[in-house]
Amino acid sequence: MKTKITLLIALFFSLSFGFSQNEQECGTKLSLMAEAAKAKNYEAAYAPFKWLRENCPKYNLAIYQYGEKILENFVETKEDKKTYILELTEMWNDRVQYFPSKTEAGKVMVDACLLKYDNKEALGLSTQQLYDCFDNAYKTDKENFTSTKGLYLYFKLAVDLYDAGSMTAQQLFDKYDDVAEKIEYEVEDNTNKLNKLLAKKDAGTALSKREAKYEKYHGQMIDAFGKVADGIDSQLGKRANCDNLIPLYTKNFDANKDNAEWLQRALNKMYQKECTDDPLFIKIVNRKYELSPDADTAYYLYLKTGEERYLTESLNLQTDPFKKSKLVKKIALGLKKRGSFGKARQYFQEALSLNPSDKTPHIYIASMYASSANSCGDTTFNKQAVFWLAAQEASKAGSAGAKYAESYNAKAPSKSQIFNEGNQGQTIKIGCWIGRSVTVPSL
């Protein structure tokens, strides 16, 4: 009995010593790797990095943080890129496995897909394999799939598969809706955060340095996601014209008449592609309204019937400021298209109050002023003076409105015209629906 106890104690100390020795060696190797990597001596850092991955992959997150720098350098500088690309993607997978709470899986997975896409020839990857990579990242961790380039390529690959006959039209449209809704979510998230900062500034409180950086960041992200939205619309192009959409939705209507999401997506796509004159549109609208009425469906009913009660219902149903601003702007654009400029301006101004970070309504208002110059001015000079008002309005949109403001100012009265009129500094009242005044610049 005493012999057994002695053996157990010996085994315990042996194991404890082994663990302690191994942990000590892990620490030593980590230190060697970190020092070499900090000095950008990636050749020297590679050996301890390899040892750490093989012997103590759970030891410290720094293994993967420095490992990423080492392998990314090798991908850029080594002739055998393929080996290190594969090793880098495997390392990212290990990080997700061993440090899940400290790793945004979606981001890491998308980074791996982007790396594979950029090196698809060297890796010999097909369109289907690349699409599956992005699709797996999206389905695994949609929340952290926030790469603008990743979202664009995800849909572009879907288009390539559709063109090759490997994806159906319905699958392509579904994927478009997936990506478009994800983009809208990210735009809304950044918009809400930006508007909070703008409200703080409007209240007279200065932003901290950190808040100022976030103000710039959120604005940049809104612009970036906006460009991606334009990009996927361009990719979809004529593949989703009325000639394709109407037969597809007609064929699938009965199978999806109780599917509110399918009905809403079909309506949105038909509206976007201007297929609203087809009887199928009102058929889907009526079914969606019967099944699950919401702000969008009520608005579509207003478009088809012209009944103000549906417009009122639409505005009442939508309570989210961001979504309501989009709805109000949509209403304004519809009124602008029909030539109801005065009413359109009211809705554009409401959209600005609901979402101060979206300055595009200023550009639309400016364009209405410019197009009304001939009808709202009583003399040649005063007609041209309307362009000053248009330029002032466009300039409120910041950099986005700069080119419009420049164009409008070029159409406004010249210095010689002002001199000949002798009215510098005077106020000109602009009539008709505009009902605004503009001051003639001083020479």
pLDDT tens for 126-177 read 999 999 999 999 999 999 999 999 999 999 999 999 999 999 999 999 999 9
> Looking at residues 27-54, what average pLDDT do you find?
95
Q: Is the pLDDT of residue 23 over 90?
A: no
Nearest to 361 by CA among 404, 383, 332: 332
Residue 383 lies in a domain: yes
Separation of CA 379 from chain center = 46
Structural tokens at position 103: 């790793």
Residue 285 lies in a domain: yes
Domain containing 245 equals: 241-317
Domain count, the chain: 2
Separation of CA 135 from chain center = 18
Place of tokens 């799939």: 145
Q: What is the CB neighbour count within 10 angstroms for residue 294?
A: 15
Residue 107 lies in a domain: no
| Beta-carbon contacts of residue 380 (< 8 Å; ≥ 6 apart) | none
Residues 282 and 301: their CA atoms lie apart, in Å, by 8
Residue 431 lies in a domain: yes
| Beta-carbon contacts of residue 336 (< 8 Å; ≥ 6 apart) | 344, 364, 368
Residue 412 lies in a domain: yes
pLDDT bin (cut points 50, 70, 90) of residue 13 is: very low
Report pLDDT for 22: 79
Residues 282 and 297: their CA atoms lie apart, in Å, by 10
Q: Is the pLDDT of residue 190 over 80?
A: yes
Residue 288 lies in a domain: yes
pLDDT bin (cut points 50, 70, 90) of residue 368 is: very high
Residues 173 and 160: their CA atoms lie apart, in Å, by 13
Q: Is the pLDDT of residue 374 over 50?
A: yes
Residue 161 lies in a domain: no
Report pLDDT for 12: 45
To which H or E segment does residue 36 belong? helix 2-38
Residues 372 and 119: their CA atoms lie apart, in Å, by 53
Specify whether the CB–CB gap between 55 and 39 falls below 8 A: no
Stated pTM of the model: 0.84
Q: What angle do CA 115, 118, 121 make, to 5 degrees?
A: 115
Final residue of a structural domain among 259, 291, 317: 317
Q: Is the pLDDT of residue 187 over 70?
A: yes
> Looking at residues 199-220, what average pLDDT do you find?
94
Specify whether the CB–CB gap between 37 and 45 falls below 8 A: yes
> Looking at residues 332-353, what average pLDDT do you find?
96
Final residue of a structural domain among 300, 317, 334: 317
pLDDT bin (cut points 50, 70, 90) of residue 6 is: very low
DSSP assignment of 353-412, as one string? HH-TT--HHHHHHHHHHHHTHHHH-SSHHHHHHHHHHHHHHHHTTTHHHHHHHHHHHHHS
Q: Is the pLDDT of residue 21 over 90?
A: no
Residue 248 lies in a domain: yes
Report pLDDT for 16: 43
pLDDT in tens, 269-296: 999 999 999 999 999 999 999 999 999 9
